[in-house]
Each structure stands twice: as structure tokens, then as C-alpha cells.
Amino acid sequence: MTPTERSQRVKQLAEQQGFDRCGIAPLGPIDRADYLLEWLQRGMAGTMGYLHRRRESRHDPSRFLPGARSAIVVAVNYHQPPSALPADGAPRGRVAQYAWGEDYHVVVRERLEGLLGDLRSAMDELFEARVCVDTSAIVERALAARAGVGWIGKNTLVLHESLGSYFFLGEILLTLDLAPDHPAADHCGSCTRCLEACPTGAFPAPYQMDARRCISYLTIEHRGEIPGELHAGMGDWIFGCDICQEVCPFNRDAPTTREPRFALGERITLERSVAPGAADASPRTDDDPNPRLDEVLAWDADAHRATTQGRATDRATLAMWRRNAAIARANIARDSAPASS
């Protein structure tokens, strides 16, 4: 096969595996590698110390797999319609859409492993390959833009004209020569809705994000106390945040995911003992996008484990969930209090 024929076959197999987008990127130093280094040096990664490790492969993904020449970059849509709030009047928090269903690391990796198996059967020569899903030491957004899967928007997320931004990325780095796609063109234009909508001011400039002020970082990655001046802006978000995606025009008609494992599950009851005077933590939802704050604050280790096991939400510890819920409850109480005369 020629590189072009191989790329065509890759895309056919990716479609059969159910990926919503597939592009091919040549490997080499990423665009804005100097900016990434400056971003780290300025402390904008906050407490995410792991981003300072393996810098060589973050700057040049070909270093992640010796001899790698190409990257297959795929997108998997996770968008779902808004979930209606129960009419019980209880204060509730919000969970970002990406964490509503099963852990995307598992779902996307399984599909990529399936694609890799198909490729080994279909290609005319042996090759080395590595599957990457989010946690690998590469800058996958840069690869996605280079592969034409989307462009990096002003909120630093990857955007696509018809998919919007509610999608996961995954990659296969391999030693085969594949014909690359053209990089995606930037269609943000003069729009700044995402920058203006961020309640904590996490975007110091277009295409730049200060993780230390990002609600997603604060609720998911940051293990310590959250600075008091950021509490009000966090609103009722207790795991992640979708605000900059919700206001993006390209998400106005975003399609609904075809992956049933990302869909919200049925309500289940967790039976556990409740200390006298404590809020009853059951029934609850194992993947509720709007969990009751009193239930979260009453969680013990077993409840936390049962609720987050097998989901992206297990990234936050029990202490972090309680911290986030306490901030959200205070914000809701403040916003619902009658105005003083």
C-alpha cells in the first residue's frame, strides 16, 4: 500500500469502530512548543506537577514512541441533552457532561485497541504502535489540530464545525508512513463569548488558559484549599465545568452521542448505615449530573467509591467532593437569600 492508501484504509476502519472523526498527523515538534514551556514556567499549570515531567515527548510526540512517524487522531462525541432537575427543591451541584457516563479512558481505549487490531490485520507490513488516551505525555490537542480533527479555540479546547467541542480525543502513534491531513482552519473569528462567560477569569488572553483559575482544575485536579476569592465564581459546579462550551456557537446544534456507555444510567439505591442526625445518602444516582449536595456532604468512603468507581469522577477524592459541595451549597444559599433592604 502507498501512504495514501493506508490513510484511506485507516479512516474506513475508524468509521467502522464508531469514531466520529479521524485524521492523520505527521509527527515532529508541536506548534507553540515555546508557549507550552513558558506556560509551565509561569506556574499556570497550578499543582499539576505531572505536566512538568516527560517534557521531551510533550514538545515532540515522536519521542513518545521511538521511530514513530504518524499519529492517528480520533474524536468520540459525548454530548447529551440537558438533564432536567428533579422537582424536590433540594440544593444540587453540577457535573460536567464528559463525566456523566462510564470512564472515557476505558471506552475510548477499548475502541482504539480494536482499531489497532484491525490495522495490524489490514496493513501490508509490521509496525510498532502506542495507544494514547488523555493521560499520555503528549499534547493531544496540538495533534488533533494538525490532523484536521478540529482547531484549538480561544478557550483552548478543540472545536469542530459540526461536532462542536463535546468530544474526547484519542491517538495511535505508529511507525508507519501515512498520508497526513491538512491542519484545521481556525473558525473562531472575532467571537469571544467563551472568554467573557468564564466566571473566574481563567482566560488571560485568547488561546490562553490559567489553570489556577479554571473551575474544572479547581474541582478535579487541585487537592488543597481553593482561594476564597474564587468561590463565588464556581457557582454550583462540583466536578468540572461546561460554561465556556455552553456559550460556544459551534455547540448550539451539537449532535447527541451515539455511544450508549456515555449515557446516563438508571437510578440505583445505595444501602448503607447513616449516623443519627446525618442526611440520608440514599436513594442516589451513580452518575447523576446534578447530585444533591446534602448527599455528597454525607458521603463516607464506601459511598464515594460506589458513586465514582468506573467513572471519570473518581479523579476527585472524597475530601475534594465534600469541599466542592460545601462551596456550592454556600453559593446557592447566598444567591437564594432575600436581598436586604
* Catalytically active residues, by annotation: 134
- Round to whole Å and give the CA distance between 259 and 261: 5
Radius of gyration of the chain (CA): 21
Return the DSSP state at 204: S
Closest of 134, 147, 136, 127 to residue 30, by C-alpha: 147
In which element (H, E) is residue 45 found?
none
How does 285-313 read in b/e, with b if 16+ C-beta sit within 10 Å? bbbbbbbbbbbbbbbeeebbebbbeebbb
169/74 Cα distance (integer angstroms)? 6
**Residues sharing a CB contact under 8 Å with residue 153, sequence separation 6 or more, in sequence order:** 159, 165, 186, 188, 194, 207, 248
H helices within the chain, ranges in order?
3-16, 33-41, 55-59, 104-122, 140-146, 193-197, 215-216, 243-246, 293-298, 301-308, 318-336
| Grid cell for residue 319 | 475530601
